A = this chain, B = another copy of it.
Amino acid sequence: MTGFINYHKVLIVGLGMIGGSYAEKLSSLGFEVGALVRRQETLDYALAHGMIAHGHVEVTREYVSQFDLVVFALYPHAFVEWIRRYQDYLKEGAVITDVTGVKRSIVPAVQDMLRPDLEFVPAHPMAGRERSGVEYSDSRVFNGANFIITPTDRNTPEGIELVRTLGCILGFRHIAVLSVEEHDEMIGFLSQLTHCIAVALMDCKASEHLAEYTGDSFRDLTRIARINENMWTELFMENRDELLAQMDLFVDKFSQLREALAGGDTDTMKEMMRLSSYRRSFFDK
C-alpha cells in the first residue's frame, strides 16, 4: 500500500476557480501539479502565477499517463464525457476524484464505464466564490470549510483514505462521508435551494437604488445571487427531483409563516422564530 506522498504528481483537469485553488494549494505544498485546460490563456495565467508546473490544452496519452492521481474540476457533463473519451489514456491503477456538486447522476455513470484497474473516489469540496475562472482561485476558501466524500461499494478503503488525505492537506476542516443519495439531498437543501432563494429574491425588484437603503441581511441573503448561470443550471437539472422536493419543503414552511402573519397568530410566529434561533445556534463557528 502506498501513502499519499507517493502521489506527488497530481493532474488537475479544468482550472476554474475550484480547480485553480486545488492547483495553487497543492503546488504550494510541494506537489508537482499538471493541468489540462481548454484555453491557452488559462494555462498561461496558471503558469505565470506558479499554480502549476506544466500543462496542456490538448489531451494526450503521453501526458495523462504520467499521473497516479487525477482531479476532475469540470462541469458534470464535461466530466462524464472526458472519461468516455479519454479514460484509455489514464495510467494503470490511477485514482481519480472530482469536485462535482451533484453525485447521483455522475458517480454511477463514471464508475459503470471505468476501466477495472482505475478507481474513482467522488468528492465535493463545499467551498467556492461568486466569481468563476482561474483568476479567482484562492485556496484560503478551503480553510475551515467542509469536504464531503461519497464512496460507493466499488471503492476501496485505500482509495477513500487517499481522497480523505487530499481533503485534509487542502485545508478542509471537516471531512464527511455520505452516500451519493444523502449527498444530493443535503446539497439540494443546503446549497441549491439557497441559491434558488437568492436568485428569486434578487429578481423581485430593480436594484439600482436598493443598496442605499439596505442593511446587512439583504446583502447576505443575495450574495450568491451573483451566480454562474451555466454551471448552476446544469447542477440544478442534474439534481432536479431532489431540488424540487427541497423547494417545496421551503415554500411549505414559508407559507406557514405567511398564514400565521395573515391571521395574526403571533404565538405561531414566535414559536417558528424560537425554533429557527435554536437551530441556527448550531452553526456558530
Interface set, chain A 245-273, CB cutoff 8 A to B:
246-251, 253-258, 261-262, 264, 266, 269-270, 272-273
Which B residues are CB-close (under 8 A) to A218? 190-191, 194
Which B residues are CB-close (under 8 A) to A178? 213
Which B residues are CB-close (under 8 A) to A248? 258
Interface set, chain A 132-157, CB cutoff 8 A to B:
145-146, 148
Which B residues are CB-close (under 8 A) to A255? 251
Q: Find out whether the CB atom of A227 lies under 8 angstroms from the CB atom of B277.
A: yes
Q: Find out whether the CB atom of B272 lies under 8 angstroms from the CB atom of A244.
A: no
Whether, in the assembled complex, A276 has its beta carbon less than 8 Å from a beta carbon of chain B, the answer is yes
Whether, in the assembled complex, A279 has its beta carbon less than 8 Å from a beta carbon of chain B, the answer is yes
Which B residues are CB-close (under 8 A) to A127? 215-216
Cross-interface CB contact of A261 among B204, B236, B254, cutoff 8 Å: B236
Considering the chains assembled together, what is the distance between the CA atoms of A217 and B264 in angstroms? 31
Whether, in the assembled complex, A59 has its beta carbon less than 8 Å from a beta carbon of chain B, the answer is no
Which residue on chain B has the smallest CB distance to residue A175?
B212
Q: Find out whether the CB atom of A225 lies under 8 angstroms from the CB atom of B280.
A: yes
Q: Find out whether the CB atom of A243 lies under 8 angstroms from the CB atom of B221.
A: no
Main secondary structure of the interface of A (DSSP, over half): helix
- Which segment, of A37-45, A88-96, A108-116, A195-203, faces chain B? A195-203
Given contacts A270-B230, A276-B199, contact A213 B282 (CB under 8 A): no
Cross-interface CB contact of A247 among B250, B254, B283, cutoff 8 Å: B254
Q: Find out whether the CB atom of B196 lies under 8 angstroms from the CB atom of A221.
A: no
Whether, in the assembled complex, A120 has its beta carbon less than 8 Å from a beta carbon of chain B, the answer is no
Whether, in the assembled complex, A220 has its beta carbon less than 8 Å from a beta carbon of chain B, the answer is yes
Whether, in the assembled complex, A22 has its beta carbon less than 8 Å from a beta carbon of chain B, the answer is no
Q: Find out whether the CB atom of B280 lies under 8 angstroms from the CB atom of A202.
A: yes
Provide the A181-196 mask, 1 if CB < 8 A to any CB of B, else 0. Answer: 0000011011101111
Whether, in the assembled complex, A281 has its beta carbon less than 8 Å from a beta carbon of chain B, the answer is yes
Q: Find out whether the CB atom of B210 lies under 8 angstroms from the CB atom of A282.
A: yes
Which B residues are CB-close (under 8 A) to A159? none
Which residue on chain B has the smallest CB distance to residue A266?
B233
Given contacts A220-B221, A223-B220, contact A264 B237 (CB under 8 A): yes
Q: Find out whether the CB atom of B126 lies under 8 angstroms from the CB atom of A207.
A: no
Pairs A–B under 8 Å by Cβ, sample size 9:
A126-B214, A148-B213, A191-B218, A194-B218, A202-B280, A220-B223, A229-B277, A233-B273, A247-B258
